[in-house]
Amino acid sequence: MRSVAIVLDRRIHVNEISGYRLKLNDRTAEQFSDGRERFLPAFRGSFTSTLRWHQFEALWELLRQNPSGWYVYAVGEPPPESQSSEKQLIRFLQEIEALLRREHDEDYCGIVYADDLVRPGFIKIFDPNNLGVSCGYSDNPPLPGWILSRLKPVDLPSSMQPAGRKRWWRKIFG
Domain boundaries, the chain: 3-43, 48-173
State the pLDDT at residue 32.
37
State the pLDDT at residue 106.
74
C-alpha closest to that of 115 among 18, 13, 26, 5: 13
Mean pLDDT by groups of 10 residues along the chain of 174 residues:
34 35 36 62 92 93 96 93 96 94 80 95 89 57 90 74 66 73
Specify which residues 3 forms β-bridges with. 30
From CA 20, how far away is CA 51, in angstroms rounded? Answer: 32
From CA 121, how far away is CA 36, in angstroms rounded? Answer: 16
State the pLDDT at residue 168.
74
Would the pTM count as exceeding 0.95? no
Specify burial of residue 82 (Cβ count, 10 A radius: 0-12, 13-18, 19+).
exposed
State the pLDDT at residue 55.
94
Q: Widest CA span of the chain, in angstroms?
A: 50
State the pLDDT at residue 110.
81
State the pLDDT at residue 4.
35
Count of alpha carbons within 13 angstroms of residue 122, beta-carbon side = 19
Angle ∠(46,87,120) on CA atoms, nearest 5: 15
State the pLDDT at residue 26.
35
State the pLDDT at residue 51.
86
**Cα pseudo-dihedral 32, 36, 41, 47, rounded to 10:** 140
State the pLDDT at residue 138.
58
